[in-house]
């Protein structure tokens, strides 16, 4: 994600029809567990917030797939911080929405929709956070800005968008983290790399799960290419740390990457859990 504020110039004409296209829908149970855990570590106050429009604001799982596993799992995890949290699963495939209805309850619902989230304006519905995983990878890179722009119209100022890609089991993923600003704009806050250490640590492995707006920019001169090359070099310099395990090596490489100039958050809460959080905001 570029360091500058993410543009929200609308690339699509706004409509009530669901905007987007169906995903393959193949989602394993607990695939996005570490995304939920990251969100709770990153901004628990947002999940708990209950003032004003946030009192009934949704957490949205956009594009949950053929089965509603990820939505239901997120509801269970996030409600440990906020038992009253409303959770909305959104799918563009009517059959998937119909199949999920038996799992709905007073604070969990499933609706037909796309990037133009299906909120009930008459009831004053709002959104505090959107998770969109493994959704934009099937689109053209030129579609990303339009998707972000549409989502910005539905998220409250101060809310979050976590958009990224994971491997089939959720062992590796990379995500953009964006904060909703006034005026329906997003500011990119972080680029997050996640591993559960169930495979050997290798920065190059993350390239396959880079978000759509990064994966096609792995070329010399692009910021994401420079970051990945720096990380690979940092991993090589700290290779002796591997003798104490992959987790130790991951943390050592992160410190070396930071020393090389990358804006890595070095707190143990991240590194010890397998999260490399890179701050991508410009200085004010």
* Domain positions in the chain: 33-193, 203-279
CA-CA distance, 159 to 179, in Å (whole number)? 6
User: So what's the pLDDT on residue 25?
Assistant: 52
User: So what's the pLDDT on residue 140?
Assistant: 86
Q: Is the pTM of this model over 0.85?
A: yes
In CATH, 33-193 is 3.40.50.150: yes
Q: Residue 18 — very low, low, confident or very high, per pLDDT cuts 50/70/90?
A: low
Q: Is the pLDDT of residue 17 over 80?
A: no
Q: Residue 10 — very low, low, confident or very high, per pLDDT cuts 50/70/90?
A: very low
- 172-228 pLDDT, tens per residue? 999 999 999 998 899 999 999 999 999 999 999 999 999 999 999 999 999 999 999
Q: Residue 254 — very low, low, confident or very high, per pLDDT cuts 50/70/90?
A: very high
What is the maximum span of the chain, computed from C-alpha positions, in angstroms? 60
Q: Is the pLDDT of residue 59 over 60?
A: yes
Q: Decide if 174 contacts 206 (C-beta within 8 A).
A: yes
Partners of 58 in beta bridges: 86, 127
Q: Decide if 10 contacts 150 (C-beta within 8 A).
A: yes
């Amino acid at each position: 994600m570029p360091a500058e504020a993410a543009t929200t110039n609308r690339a699509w004409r706004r409509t009530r029809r669901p905007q987007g296209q169906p995903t393959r829908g193949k989602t394993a149970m607990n695939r996005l567990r570490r995304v939920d855990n990251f969100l709770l570590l990153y901004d628990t106050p947002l999940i708990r917030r209950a003032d004003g429009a946030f009192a009934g604001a949704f957490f949205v799982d956009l594009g949950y797939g053929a089965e509603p596993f990820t939505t239901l799992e997120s509801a269970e995890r996030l409600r440990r911080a906020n038992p009253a949290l409303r959770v909305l699963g959104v799918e563009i495939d009517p059959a998937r929405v119909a199949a999920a209805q038996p799992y709905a309850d007073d604070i969990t619902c499933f609706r037909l929709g796309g990037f133009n989230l299906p909120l009930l304006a008459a009831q004053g519905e709002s959104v505090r956070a959107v998770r969109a995983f493994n959704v934009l990878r099937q689109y053209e890179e030129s579609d990303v800005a339009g998707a972000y722009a549409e989502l910005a119209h539905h998220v409250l100022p101060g809310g979050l968008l976590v958009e990224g890609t994971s491997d089939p089991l959720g062992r590796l993923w990379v995500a953009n983290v964006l904060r909703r600003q006034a005026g329906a704009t997003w500011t990119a806050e972080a680029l997050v790399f996640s591993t559960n250490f169930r495979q050997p640590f290798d920065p190059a492995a993350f390239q396959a799960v880079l978000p759509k707006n990064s994966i096609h920019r792995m070329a010399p001169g692009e910021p994401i290419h420079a970051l990945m090359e720096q990380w690979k070099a940092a991993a090589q310099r700290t290779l002796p740390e591997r003798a104490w395990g992959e987790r130790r090596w991951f943390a050592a490489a992160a410190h070396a990457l930071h020393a090389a100039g990358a804006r890595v958050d070095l707190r143990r809460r991240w590194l010890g859990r397998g999260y490399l959080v890179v701050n991508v905001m410009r200085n004010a």
